[in-house]
Structure 1
Amino acid sequence: MGLVAPQELVVEHVLPPVRALIARRLADRDLTQQQIADRLGVTQAAVSQYLSGDPPGGEIAGHPETTAAVESIAAELAAGDEYAALADLLELIETLEDRGPLCTLHEAESPELEGMSCDLCVRGPDERVAAERETLATVRKAARILAQTGGMAEFVPAVGTNVGSALPGATDPIDVAAIPGRIYAIQGRVEVPANPEFGASRHVARAILAARDVDPAIGGALNLATRDGLFAAARERGIEPLAFDADHEDHLADLRDALVDRGSVPRVVYHPGGFALEPITYVLGSDAVSAARLAADLVVATE
């Protein structure tokens, strides 16, 4: 077998076309060649070549996962979110490696691998690390959904909002990833101040855990300010919001009791507020992205 590592194929066959495609998307967003170079970590001359040559072709450039990733990465780089862009690039590479087109290229470089159901790129994963990485990525995607939804800023509570996603088998708030410092509305837009961390939101985490006690399929949640039209939008989608008491000091324990009494978990629950306590609506989902998509749908429907 020739000693050709899969990583060599990434450098040769993946990074060049992906960089070229991202450069073109950034140029479409009116970034200068030097700005594009700074974001991609290449020279301005390299960017000039990316933009002046023919668009990249081949199986890697034309793969649907590549197309989707390029769009996300370009948007993240344009917004200055290099961490999210790098995470999406790594996720793309893993997808292409996991019995994707890189396997075909690897077999062409090392014919001895053909027909062996090779698992070099996916062998022996650390399942806990993989789950943590996926959970953090889910919260990043959910936060982007909130930030990109028109009108969402009007539904950010005075105390701020947060969005969380739980690890499989989560039993403690430290098992739930969320945004440190919460998400705030600033000048009519949603501001996400940091990348997600585990244990970053006690309230959203405890709402998820309370719901999971009744329905283990629940893995994500976010909190919104209660505004006119929100519950009507939920009912139009077949969701009957559930109220729970907020008078008790531990009102999220009251949420669990209300869900136990009901015997099921609706995707929208709320408390009407209390002394020095703002009325809050929680939107639940299978993960943070599921909750964020439903919240976005409800918010847009109230306009």
Structure 2
Amino acid sequence: MPVVLPSEIVVERFLPTARAMLVDDLADRGLTQREIAGHLGVTQAAVSKYRSGEVTVEDRFSEDARMAATVERIGEGLAEDEMDHYEALSELLALVEEFEDRGPICAVHEDVMPALRGVGCDLCVRGPDSGVLDERAVLDNVREAVRRLAGAPAVVDHVPNVGTNVAMALPEADEGGDVAAVPGRLHAIQGRLNVPGNPEFGASQHVAGLVLAATATDPAVRGAVNLKTSEALLAAARDAGYEPLEFDAGYEDRDEHLRERFDEEGVPRVAYHDGDYGVEPILYVLGADAADAVSLAVDLCAAAEA
């Protein structure tokens, strides 16, 4: 996995794009190649390359309205002698800082360093604070849980038609964006689980809602996975010492109803419903984290198949 500094994105992608845009802006204002070269600190030959399109421009920067506005301000200021080079540099640095705060520089950085995807990285502006470390820990846990789930053959027959998902909440989570899951869910295809991508925050609705309801009652419960309700799984749960909690899928405010049930009866290891009109019967396995929930789910599926 490559380690790429954000400063490399600035030097290799942002700066050439900014220069190319400034060259065009200043040329359109009537400045000569010599004058442009003097303002930008490059050679006339380099100005010619920028002008002829020989330098690669990053569209995610050039098409951003903030960059277009910054280039226009700098171009006008330099052309009219109303802005010196210090002020021009200040404008560009301010834009870099804005682009590094979960902006287009982050998007490009994620492309060249995939380990950053989905972690809400803000190392450039805030450093490795505890929130970022928590996010990474949750994402790592969900990845490991998904690998175990996908590697368990007994699980395949218990995957709902709508797919299954593995979710885990951040500490003190209170909204869907605080819960990590797999975008698009996992589906059973030709006897195996297909994992469409890496986990991301805000990628789940129903499993995330159940996790939020559970952790609101018991902060020690932060993970869950959904399966297809079946008598075999319910029996396996009871045999393992876990009495499943049944709830009604038809409640309009399902998550609020679950919170009330959990407050009254405690957070179970297994909760399920028998479906409703247009709603497939679903069973949820909960745990301290995603890996814990999946571990029990795999054991229940294996017991149900025995």
Query: Given the two structures, how large is their TM-score scaled by the length of structure 2?
Result: 0.57
Counterparts of 1:258 and 1:171 in 2: how far apart (Å)? 18
Aligned to 2:291: 289
Task: Check whether the contact 1:271–1:281 (CA below 8 A) recurs between aligned residues.
Answer: yes
Matched letter for residue 266 of structure 1: P
Aligned to 2:131: 128
1:179 to 157, 179, 182: 182
Matched letter for residue 301 of structure 1: A
Aligned to 2:244: 241
The answer on 1:211 being equivalent to 2:233 is: no
Shift of 1:259: 1.4
The answer on 1:137 being equivalent to 2:140 is: yes
Aligned to 1:151: 154
Matched letter for residue 166 of structure 1: A
Aligned to 1:299: 301
Task: Check whether the contact 1:246–1:254 (CA below 8 A) recurs between aligned residues.
Answer: no
Aligned to 2:193: 190
Task: Check whether the contact 1:219–1:287 (CA below 8 A) recurs between aligned residues.
Answer: yes
Task: Check whether the contact 2:178–2:201 (CA below 8 A) recurs between aligned residues.
Answer: yes
The answer on 1:268 being equivalent to 2:270 is: yes
Matched letter for residue 303 of structure 2: A
Shift of 1:125: 4.3
Counterparts of 1:125 and 1:199 in 2: how far apart (Å)? 21
Task: Check whether the contact 2:229–2:283 (CA below 8 A) recurs between aligned residues.
Answer: yes
Task: Check whether the contact 1:241–1:267 (CA below 8 A) recurs between aligned residues.
Answer: yes
Larger Rg: 1 or 2? 2
Matches within 5 A, 1:34-73: none
Task: Check whether the contact 2:160–2:282 (CA below 8 A) recurs between aligned residues.
Answer: yes
Task: Check whether the contact 2:171–2:219 (CA below 8 A) recurs between aligned residues.
Answer: no
Query: Given the two structures, how large is their TM-score scaled by the length of structure 1?
Result: 0.58
Counterparts of 2:190 and 2:201 in 1: how far apart (Å)? 28
Shift of 1:149: 0.7
1:157 is paired with a residue of what secondary structure? coil
Matched letter for residue 251 of structure 1: R
1:254 to 249, 257, 265: 257
Counterparts of 1:201 and 1:125 in 2: how far apart (Å)? 26
Which stretches in structure 1 are left out of the alignment for 5+ residues?
Answer: 1-6, 8-82, 88-123
Counterparts of 1:141 and 1:241 in 2: how far apart (Å)? 25
Aligned to 1:27: none
Aligned to 1:60: none
Counterparts of 2:167 and 2:250 in 1: how far apart (Å)? 24
Counterparts of 2:160 and 2:276 in 1: how far apart (Å)? 15
Matched letter for residue 264 of structure 2: D
Counterparts of 1:182 and 1:143 in 2: how far apart (Å)? 11
Shift of 1:254: 2.1
1:221 is paired with a residue of what secondary structure? strand
Matched letter for residue 246 of structure 1: A
Q: CA-atom RMSD, angstroms?
A: 1.8
Aligned residues: 183
Matches within 5 A, 1:41-120: none
Shift of 1:228: 3.0
Shift of 1:251: 2.3
Aligned to 2:231: 228
Counterparts of 1:283 and 1:169 in 2: how far apart (Å)? 20
Greater alpha carbon shift after TM alignment, 248-257 vs 197-206: 248-257
Matched letter for residue 254 of structure 2: H
Shift of 1:250: 2.6
Matched letter for residue 269 of structure 2: R
Deviations 1:76-133 (A, max 9, x none): xxxxxxx9xx96xxxxxxxxxxxxxxxxxxxxxxxxxxxxxxxxxxxx8421111111
Aligned to 1:161: 164
Task: Check whether the contact 2:225–2:286 (CA below 8 A) recurs between aligned residues.
Answer: yes
Between the two proteins, what is the percent identity of the paired residues? 54
Shift of 1:174: 0.1
